[in-house]
Structure 1
Amino acid sequence: MSAGNLPWEGGCRCGQVRVKVTAPPLLTMACHCTGCQRMTASAFSLSVAIPSEGFAVTRGEPVIGGLHGATRHYFCPHCMSWMFTRPEGMDWFVNLRATMLDDASWFTPFIETWTSEGLPWAATPAVHSYAALPALEDYDGLLREYAEQALKPKG
């Protein structure tokens, strides 16, 4: 599997919930916020932003977990793996946890967010780094730059 070799499939740790991705990613990211640290029991969460029309749950019924707020975090009801997030007011994409993919070996975060809350030793190779979130007006340029970078042949 590679960033350009679709479709991708993935699932939770126990396999009861499976997903399929049929659209190229919009962006890859690492989030260092304390909420992601606590939900992953790690230094950050890794996400692939997928257009909503290119994302499907193909088996199982994920449940809402996390804070149970307007932004919905979906988990496997059995193994409790945090699988994906549907951010409030942004129904056009889904943030899939990159490590839910059957093969995430191609994944590298393009941006990292909430570095102001990050653990001092946690570093990523992200091209862009933000103390909080990028300004709303920066996203068009980031999406365009990521698409151009993702299409470049490796090597």
Structure 2
Amino acid sequence: MPSIPLPLKGACRCGCVEIEVSKPPIATAACHCPGCQKMSSSAYSMTAIIPADGFVVTKGEPVIGGLHGQDLHHHFCGHCMTWMFTRIEGVDWFVNVRPTMLEETAWFRPFMETFTSTKQPFAETGAVRSFPEFPAMEELGPLMKEYQAWVEARD
């Protein structure tokens, strides 16, 4: 897996909203939940879990879209409606960034896949770890360490 060329710049499809990632992900994933399937119009969505202090919107004002739930806040470009990133209410230490928004994506590989219980039969991600739902919050620390070891072994 190629090294991550930080900082990573990115934008929505139309360019009205731009983002920048200045810290490497603490994990990467593919999510097979029905909501991600619908919002991505695909078999799964991809995410790079970025430390919150390593992510910034540099241009434009994203809008909340998707579920409009109390816990998940999906951020979209208000013009082209591209799903760009997600924040979880009460979890202020990371942001789930859609890696396809970034100009450079060769480094991205999903380390884990979630919600395999609703996975499309043909969908393959190449992920190292699989979970029938989302892992419990207490599992995230050990998973992040495992992800870091996986990245270092691939460099």
The reply to whether TM is greater than 0.5 is yes
- The two structures have a TM-score, normalised by structure 1, of 0.94
Structure 1 equivalent of residue 83 of structure 2 = 82
Distance change >3 Å, CA 30–CA 115, structure 1 → 2: same
**Percent of aligned positions that are identical:** 53
Q: Where does 1:5-20 land on structure 2 (aligned, <5 Å)?
A: 5-20=5-20
Runs of 4+ off more than 2 Å: 2-5, 151-154
Shift of 1:3: 4.2
Return the letter of the residue paired with 2:113.
Answer: E
How many residue pairs are counted as aligned between the two chains? 153
Structure 2 equivalent of residue 54 of structure 1 = 54
Return the letter of the residue paired with 1:62.
Answer: P
Q: Quick check: 2:4–2:107 contact (8 Å CA) kept in 1? A: no
What is the RMSD computed on CA atoms of the aligned residues? 1.2
Asked if 1:102 is matched to 2:117, the reply is: no
Gaps of 5+ in 2: none
Return the letter of the residue paired with 1:69.
Answer: G
Structure 1 equivalent of residue 38 of structure 2 = 38
Gaps of 5+ in 1: none
CA deviation string 1:103-130 (max 9, x = no partner)? 1122110000001111111111000000
Shift of 1:88: 2.2
CA deviation string 1:68-111 (max 9, x = no partner)? 11210000011100000001221110000011111112211000
Q: Distance in 2 between matches of 1:68 and 1:3?
A: 35
Shift of 1:152: 3.4
